Structure 1
């Protein structure tokens, strides 16, 4: 199936997809701030420039978009119908980079949480915030939210 817009238009559209301050990130940050957690945003000194960094707790959070980071079992992680080889290679590299960044953070003593976009959007559920707060105040090294989609 051919793209319905010109390559220049598609390029412009894709360039406007934000890599920071997404709706999911902002929603999560507001919820955590309301619960008294203070943080830094996109600390470039750390591997992968985590979305939310909690120096006091030695923890970081990556807020992954289900589409771009390929959330297993999530309907938002569909495969485009055109240029499948290109997209598969791009998604595979995103997954490898995510794994590498998480591994590097864990090796340097940081605790890591991955929060999937679908756990936050359309609405941040209190149980999701509870789970994140529990992670931050615990000794758990790694957690992924929501667990339901990844455990299927």
Structure 2
């Protein structure tokens, strides 16, 4: 049986969740910077205000939370929906997935290359190589 949490406590928990400058995003930004890449953050003139934008390379990196953006990998333990209030969560998380797909399509239509990194992938030891390969596709 799930623990019952008061509405006030749940509200406090939810309001503490960041949409910008999250821990996984900060880790990716630090790594990019240490690799010598310079970038812009959350450009308002691009669809969805992408997390990391490298204008000179026409590249965007989105760092997505596994829970909030419904990571499709069945091995990801963070992507499981809550057991309670399933209708609410299904609807809410479904809208996030639809919005992500629309923003991705809009960015690609504008000529941007997009790399989606999931929260659970940020700790991967091959992340630096993956970022370098994405940002330097010809060599």
Q: Which residue of 1 aligns with 2:36?
A: 36
**Post-superposition offset of 1:5:** 2.1
Structure 1 runs of 4+ aligned residues shifted over 6 Å read: none
**Post-superposition offset of 1:2:** 7.0
The equivalences for 1:48-127 within 5 A come to: 48-72=48-72, 73=74, 74-120=76-122, 123-125=123-125, 127=126
**Post-superposition offset of 1:41:** 1.0
**Post-superposition offset of 1:50:** 0.5
User: What TM-score, normalized to structure 2?
Assistant: 0.92
Unaligned runs of 5+ in 2: none
Q: Is the 8 A contact 1:51 1:63 kept in 2?
A: yes
Cα pair distance change 1:87/1:3, threshold 3 Å: farther
Where 1:80 maps in the other structure, the secondary structure is: coil
Q: CA RMSD in A?
A: 1.5
Q: Distance in 1 between matches of 2:68 and 2:11?
A: 16
Q: Distance in 2 between matches of 1:3 and 1:13?
A: 15
User: What TM-score, normalized to structure 1?
Assistant: 0.84
**Post-superposition offset of 1:124:** 4.6
Q: Deviations over 1:100-134 (max 9, x none)?
A: 000000001111010011111xx352x11111111
**Post-superposition offset of 1:11:** 1.3
**Post-superposition offset of 1:69:** 0.7
Q: Distance in 1 between matches of 2:69 and 2:89?
A: 12
Q: Distance in 1 between matches of 2:21 and 2:45?
A: 18
Q: Is the 8 A contact 1:3 1:82 kept in 2?
A: no
